[in-house]
Amino acid sequence: MTATTTTTVTTTSGGHCSKSYRRGGGCGGGVMLIASILVLSVHYGHAQDFGYDGEKGPSHWGEQYNSCTGKHQSPININSLDVKKVNLPPLVFQGFNVAPKETNLTNNGHTVVVTMDSEVTPTVSGGPLAGMYEYSQLHFHWGDNDTFGSEDMIDNHRFPMELHIVFFKQEYKNARTALNHPDGLTVLAFFYEIAPVDNPMYDEFIALLGNVTGSHLSARFETPPSLKDLLAEDLLHYYTYDGSLTTPPCSEVVTWIDFKEPILLSHAQVQAFRALEDEEGHPLTHNFRPVQPLGDRVVLYNTDELIKQVELDEEHPPEPEGVDTNKLDTHKSASEEAKSPKDPSNRKQPRNDAVSILPGTTRWTLLIVALTLISTIVQC
């Protein structure tokens, strides 16, 4: 996650200007002009002075930004067998299906950032969040081939690209002041997988990347997409943990929400991101931070499965639905009867069969006595 906000001024070849430019006094010609933009760090200081290689690479971030050596850093590798399954309250998404009035796409030298001017600012609440969080910006992380590029990993698997949608807690007014609070930001993270065909929802997005190849160039959407247009369908199943910004100053103020279902893009669509250039004019082929130690943190996995709060003992199985246990037949099963000592008083007695209830030895004695009596009678 990169910690930047942007202020943009854009004109297009058709002479169509943004509102902010028209207030400044006109478009200034019919040739496409994508003006330089002012890129502000969310954090006061020189948080833009970093890179992903050499002396500015992630292994050196801690030399200038102390937080980058903290114990609760992001990204991490999420072991799906070592998470705690939970049933969190539903996430509430507001304004996600509303198309903005204006959407700008900017290459800030580290990633491509999307900012929006909308009558309805998207917000998210619920789930692991305490309070309402307001949209700030979204950006991407990718690698130089389709085998890696995401920042967080799932079971040691990297995805080719990852989307971060950054929100700040509304009570803190803006993303900059939110950095001073441990619950200041939340990031909705989505992974990408490669599909055999293009994703049509990203067509204009991918086309605009060709207009912002150079660092600090910006382009504007003709048909701005809503946030919902860019996301996966399943917003119920996700991992969540407490972490940090994944770029300097690495502030540990982020509640991460990593959705399980990936978004599908074609190889050609992901390849378009790799054509961008960094601040030094070099190809921006990879812009992800290596995973950090999990430490003492617990990763939660939100599921729609019923999580049993009390583990049932084998001697007390769950009661059948719709059955009054006070009226259950308490007779033992045949297997239980065979294992338990015989109690003659519990056995059912056959009717009109007095002989059958006598022990075997007694029956033979009576038979001999009867035969003797019959023999005596015959002889008489």
**Domains of the chain: residue spans and CATH:** 65-302 (3.10.200.10)
Q: What is the pLDDT of residue 41?
A: 38
Flag whether pLDDT at 319 surpasses 80: no
**Of 24-38, 44-58, 226-240, minimum mean pLDDT range:** 24-38
Q: What is the pLDDT of residue 365?
A: 57
pLDDT band for position 203 (50/70/90)?
Answer: very high
Flag whether pLDDT at 109 surpasses 60: yes
Flag whether pLDDT at 137 surpasses 80: yes
Catalytic residue among 43, 72, 110, 139: 110
Flag whether pLDDT at 85 surpasses 60: yes
pLDDT band for position 309 (50/70/90)?
Answer: low
Q: What is the pLDDT of residue 307?
A: 77
Mean local confidence (pLDDT), 229-253: 97
More confident residue, 15 or 269: 269
Annotation marks residue 43 as catalytic: no
Q: Is 336 helix (H, G, I), strand (E, B) or coil?
A: helix
Cα 203-270-168 angle, rounded to 5 deg: 80
Cα 318-319-325 angle, rounded to 5 deg: 150
pLDDT band for position 32 (50/70/90)?
Answer: very low
Cis preceding-peptide flag for 75 (omega within 30 of 0) = yes
CB neighbours of 101 closer than 8 A, spacing ≥ 6?
Answer: 117, 118, 119, 224
